[in-house]
Amino acid sequence: MTSKITYILLLILIVLCWKGVAVSSDKKLAVVPSSSALVLRWPLLDDVPLSEMEVEIFRRSQNTGWEKIATIKPSLEKLHSLLSSDPGLYKFLEKGGIPEKANADDYNFVLALFYIRTLADTELARAAAIFYEDSQVERSKYYQYKIVYLKEKKPVKKLVSNEVSLKYYRKPPELPVKASQEGNTVIINWPNAKIYKLYFIYRNNQNLTPYGYYVSPKNEGCLFKDQETLEEGKVYTYQVKGLTLTGERVSFKPVSIKIVDQEPPLAPDGLSFQKISPGKIKLSWKPVKAKDLSGYRVWRASSLEGPFQPLATLRSQQTSYLDKNLAPGVYYYAVSSMDYNDNESPRSYPLMVPVPDEIPPAKVKGLKASVEPGLVHLRWRSSPEKDLAGYRVYRRFGPQGPFVLLTVTPLTTETFDDNLPKAMDSTEIYYQVRALDKANNHSPPAAIKVKLPDVTPPPKPIILGHRITEKGDLELEVRFNPVDTTALMLKICPEKDSCQKYSFKTKKELKVLKVSDPPHGKLVLGIRARDKAGNVSEVFNYRMYIAPTQIQAEPKVELRPRGKKCQVKYDLPDGYFLLVYQKGERILPPVFGKGKIRLACDSPEEVEVRIFDKKAQLLKKLDFN
């Protein structure tokens, strides 16, 4: 209570101590110039009841003596009438304006309110005999005033002012007034002027401040909040009036404002999230029930304290939001709701959303391989990922089957040497290289196929048996691996003659090798297999014997024209011979064995060869046709 009284008393002193006011030495008699008079104000005496008090007013001008100009006394009847609606001040008057020592704080508080009332109401000040207006003055002169308090017609105290003149008067300015709305409150503000001691605020001509509105002269601006419930959509007109110490009221230009809805909707509830894919989440919340709901705003921050940044503004029908391309980390989301008057609710309580690193590194590029005996050397380009942990290499022999991890500990370099096992099921090796990050995410595989040179000979073929045909041909029954064999190479070595070589292209259905006109006697056969790479298997040896009688001899004769010469090439079994005729006449003796005959002939048609067996029987005739 004491602080409240002190504050109000300070207000009164500030009102009295103001530039342009002539104040007594004890700072209690104030003389203020108005437009046409000098206005005097002074306080009540604490020890003289109003019913017993009178005030004599004296004035003097330059080079003149004191002149009594008025004697006034309080009008208790009028004071009771003016204060009948204020029980507190009315009780103060009933006690004659004398404080009760036991309750001095309450008395001082009521006294301060009384002074404020008299400042706003000059009629009340006149009734209390603390106000006088002297209009019998000249503008060019200076005046000094003295008041004398009387009790029972005897002086008890006097107050003297300093000199003052009407020349001090300045017309109070009209101040600009602005009105704005914040929520359900209308805020009126205007600049402050020291000449005004109180302000009165009106709404639609209704005085909202019956006792006035005080603003400290130290404040540059004035602000008044109208917090009464105002009707939405209605226009209200506000006017501010300033009151000077002389009681002069100046009306400022009124301002109007239309009340709009500034009450925001409720904040959304039930905010949750769902992981869609790496770096992508879906936020959802419960719809807000509001007739004027216009939409939602989604916010995101990297910490609980913020700052939160708006991500998207959504329509009222949308109660979910998809946030994508999120880097690994922890995010905080909140949602606010808005209405059609742009009122926005507080944000919902933040939702923490962890986003793990599930984005794999990019596929390894530039994978190449080089082959050395027993070694495959792999190399590739460095991956650009900042969180790269290394590389892993996988291998598979052949086009089918699982890959086997070769590097349990990830490689930190972009090369790898694979030492191949000695025994392998395939000459085709498939490799995969994957990049690995610190969150154990693997990149798509970079693949390469390596084909090793074939240095493995095919399996050794086997001769299972043989037989001699009626024509004297040798047939060998063989077994070999048709998958890896492209040719069989046969060598037949007689006991007393040079070896003869044969080559057979292999087919899957090939099971018998046929040798025409084989040598006879004791024979050693050697057979080998050859693959596509030119690798030759070990030799398989086979021994056999062919009697001469087993061979049915066949004469071989070839006729070849050579320009104007005719060539006869022959190979005749023992006992066989041939005769050569030219133009119907035999030109040579019988020819035996093996050899060549060259004849001069104008035309090949004129030469004929006749073949005879051991019994000199004609077997056939041959000519160049």
The more confidently predicted of residues 453 and 364 is: 364
In this predicted structure, the answer to whether residue 18 has a pLDDT above a threshold of 70 is no
CATH of domain 269-355: 2.60.40.10
Q: Coil, strand, or helix at residue 93?
A: helix
| Per-residue pLDDT at 585 | 87
Q: Does the pLDDT value for residue 594 go beyond 80? A: yes
SS3 (DSSP) at 186: strand
Looking at residues 466-492, what average pLDDT do you find? 87
Q: For the segment 178-212, what is each residue's pLDDT rounded down to a tens digit?
A: 999 987 899 999 999 988 989 999 999 999 988 78
pLDDT tens-place string over residues 310-360: 999 999 999 999 999 898 899 999 999 999 888 999 999 999 999 988 888
Q: Tell me 213's DSSP state.
A: B
d(CA 186, CA 232): 12
- Report the alpha-carbon distance of residue 597 to residue 323 in Å, rounded: 100
pLDDT for residue 439 is more than 50 = yes
**Residue-wise pLDDT tens digits, 392-409:** 999 999 888 899 999 999
pLDDT given for residue 1 in this prediction: 41
Helix (H) or strand (E) holding 12: helix 2-16
How far apart (Å, rounded) are the C-alpha atoms in residues 335 and 324? 17
pLDDT given at position 25: 36
- Beta pairing partners, 225: 187
- Which pLDDT score, from 0 to 100, does residue 90 have? 65
- Domain 462-550, CATH number (from 3.50.50.60, 2.60.40.10, 3.30.1330.10, 2.130.10.10): 2.60.40.10
Q: Which CATH number fits domain 556-623: 1.10.1060, 2.60.40, 2.30.30, 1.10.3110?
A: 2.60.40
Residue 97 has a pLDDT of 55
Q: Which residue has the tokens 């046709």?
A: 625
Asked whether 255 and 238 are in contact (CB, 8 A), the reply is: yes
Say which residue the tokens 């507080």 belong to: 346
CA dihedral 388, 393, 399, 400 (to 10 degrees): -90
Tokens of 87: 């029980």
The H or E element that residue 611 is part of is strand 607-612
Q: H or E element: which one contains 117?
A: helix 104-120
Q: Are 280 and 255 in contact (CB under 8 A)?
A: no
Closest to 625 measured CA to CA, from 604, 610, 600: 604
What is the C-alpha separation between 31 and 144, in angstroms, rounded? 9
Residue 566 CB contacts under 8 Å (≥ 6 apart), including other chains: 559, 560, 598, 599, 601, 604, 607, 624
Whole-angstrom CA distances from 164 to 32, 149, 227 are 8, 22, 43
pLDDT for residue 113 is more than 80: no
Residue 551 has pLDDT above 70, yes or no: no
> Which residue would you say has higher pLDDT here, 593 or 319?
319
Per-residue model confidence (pLDDT) at position 426: 72
- Are the CB atoms for 383 and 443 separated by under 8 Å? yes
368-451: CATH topology:
Immunoglobulin-like (2.60.40)
Tokens read off for 398: 């052949």
Per-residue confidence band for 101, with pLDDT thresholds at 50, 70 and 90:
very low
3-class DSSP state of 203: strand
- 517 pLDDT band, cuts 50/70/90, is confident
pLDDT, averaged across the chain = 86
So where are the chain's domains?
2-168, 178-258, 269-355, 368-451, 462-550, 556-623
Q: Provide the H-helix boundaries in 243-326.
A: none
Same fold, 2-168 and 368-451: yes
**Identity of the highest mean pLDDT range in 489-498, 501-510, 548-557:** 489-498
Highest mean pLDDT among 82-96, 288-302, 533-547, 600-614: 288-302
Output the furthest CA–CA distance in the chain (Å, rounded).
201
- Is it true that the peptide bond before 548 is cis, omega within 30 degrees of 0? no
Extract the tokens encoding 597.
Answer: 């005959």
pLDDT for res 231: 86
Cα(598)–Cα(478) distance, integer angstroms: 43
What pLDDT does residue 102 have?
43
What CATH homologous superfamily does 2-168 map to? Immunoglobulins (2.60.40.10)
Neighbours of 599 (CB within 10 A): 17
Mean pLDDT of 361-374: 92
Q: What are the pLDDT digits (tens) for 41-72?
A: 998 887 788 888 899 999 999 888 999 999 99
Given a cut of 90, is residue 550 above it in pLDDT? no
Give the model's pLDDT for residue 120: 80
**Residue 94 clears pLDDT 80, i.e. is over it:** no
pLDDT of residue 5: 42
Distance between CA atoms of 292 and 94, rounded to whole angstroms?
58
Phi (first) and psi of residue 155, to 5 degrees: -65, 135
pLDDT range class, residue 22, cuts 50, 70, 90: very low
Q: Which residues of 13-118 form beta strands (DSSP E)?
A: 22-23, 30-33, 38-41, 53-61, 67-72
What is the fold, at CATH topology level, of the domain defined by 178-258? Immunoglobulin-like (2.60.40)
**What pLDDT band is residue 428 in, cutting at 50, 70 and 90?**
confident
Neighbours of 436 (CB within 10 A): 22
State the residue for tokens 């059609």. Answer: 340
**Contact present, 222 and 192 (Cβ < 8 Å):** yes
Distance CA(358)–CA(276), nearest Å, equals 12
Tally Cβ neighbours within 10 Å of residue 454: 14
- In eight-state DSSP terms, residue 241 is E
CA-nearest of 474, 472, 493, 490 to 555 is 472
The pLDDT confidence band at residue 7, using thresholds 50, 70 and 90, is very low
DSSP-based three-state secondary structure for 238: strand
pLDDT digits (tens, 9 = 90+) for 119-155: 888 898 999 899 999 999 998 899 999 999 999 889 9
The rounded distance, in Å, linking the Cα atoms of 490 and 565 is 38
Nearest to 73 by CA among 154, 128, 133: 128
pLDDT of residue 142: 93
In angstroms and rounded to an integer, the radius of gyration of the C-alpha atoms of the chain is 66
